[in-house]
């Protein structure tokens, strides 16, 4: 199976890049399934039911979340029915679930959303939670396992890779909005610390630069906003998975004002 994963879609600019390019990209790269992190898709904070359905109409097949998944209240009643997962390690009893198993090309694929600890809301230990979940999935014969690890600290993401290497198909980091170039495949597991945002690339983490600059220069609070005009980027990884192992992987960047496509192959450890 060939899977694409789009990093944090930030606001309308990110949704516009998905609309413009995704359907053609699915054909060009023979992609069977597109997963996207949508927790910033509605003006940078959360995802509304309207924008979730919009992204599904553009060719996104499945969605993951993070700490902002709760920001738009109208999505909460649909977390159990939409093709979406919220972080696995939220306490029991909150809406939605952290893992879903889907059928793809006569195979089963588990899609997991997990959230880190550093600077994040209080959740259960991500490392213990995911070890327990992987054991459960293996016990019912699930081999193909994809994880969106939504975490601030790259050390947490790297540690998870060391814990789960050879046990899962892919670990893709999200949340920082800053793409990293450390994509690799080791013992059949694909890893990248952060896929990077899809949206405005010329501000600060997809937002207009004025508010964060004011915070850094003065220490005073200021509301983040999505620019009305900006230079945009679409960032995603493509993974070729067979029998639980990632055989090949690469990252693609598309810029709205340039003709060329940037492609980076995963390093085979």
- Apex CA 176: angle with CA 172 and CA 178, to 5°? 85
Q: State how far the alpha carbon of 260 is from the alpha carbons of 42, 178, 235, 239, 253, in Å.
A: 28, 21, 13, 21, 9
Catalytic residue selected from 68, 150, 175, 177: 68
Distance CA 146, CA 112 (A): 6
The bridge status of strand 232-242 relative to strand 245-255 is antiparallel
- Distance from CA of residue 114 to its chain's centroid? 10
Name every residue whose Cβ is closer than 8 Å to that of residue 99 and which is 6 or more positions away in sequence.
85, 88, 110, 111, 112, 113, 133, 137
HSE of 126 in the Cβ direction (CA atoms, 13 Å)? Answer: 28
Alpha-helix residue ranges (DSSP H) falling in 44-104? 49-57
- Where are any strands of DSSP class E within the chain? 2-6, 33-37, 62-64, 84-85, 99-104, 107-115, 144-150, 170-174, 184-186, 189-192, 199-200, 232-242, 245-255, 261-265, 267-268
Residue 68 annotated as catalytic: yes
Residues acting as catalytic residues? 68
């Amino acid at each position: 199976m060939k899977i694409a994963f789009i990093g944090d879609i930030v606001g309308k600019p990110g949704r516009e890049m998905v609309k413009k390019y995704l359907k053609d990209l699915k054909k060009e790269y023979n992609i069977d399934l597109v997963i996207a992190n949508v927790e910033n898709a509605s003006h940078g904070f959360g995802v509304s039911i309207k924008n979730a359905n919009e992204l599904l109409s553009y060719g996104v097949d499945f969605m993951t979340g993070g700490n902002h998944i709760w920001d738009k209240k109208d999505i909460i009643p649909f977390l159990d029915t939409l093709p979406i997962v919220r972080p696995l390690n939220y306490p029991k009893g909150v809406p939605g679930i952290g893992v879903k198993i889907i059928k793809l090309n006569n195979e089963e694929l588990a899609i997991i959303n997990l959230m880190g600890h550093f600077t994040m809301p209080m959740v259960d230990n991500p490392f213990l939670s995911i070890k327990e979940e992987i054991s459960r999935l293996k016990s019912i014969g699930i081999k193909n396992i994809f994880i969106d690890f939504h975490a601030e600290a790259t050390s947490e993401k790297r540690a998870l890779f060391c814990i789960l290497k050879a046990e899962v198909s892919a670990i893709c980091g999200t949340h920082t909005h800053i793409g990293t170039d450390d994509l690799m495949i080791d013992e059949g597991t694909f890893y990248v610390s952060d896929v990077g945002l899809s949206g405005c690339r010329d501000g600060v983490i997809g937002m207009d630069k004025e508010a964060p600059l004011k915070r850094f220069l003065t220490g005073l609070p200021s509301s983040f906003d999505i620019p009305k005009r900006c230079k945009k980027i679409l960032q995603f990884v493509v993974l070729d998975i067979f029998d639980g192992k990632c055989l090949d992987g690469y990252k693609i960047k598309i810029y709205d004002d340039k003709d060329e496509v940037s492609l980076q192959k995963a390093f085979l450890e």
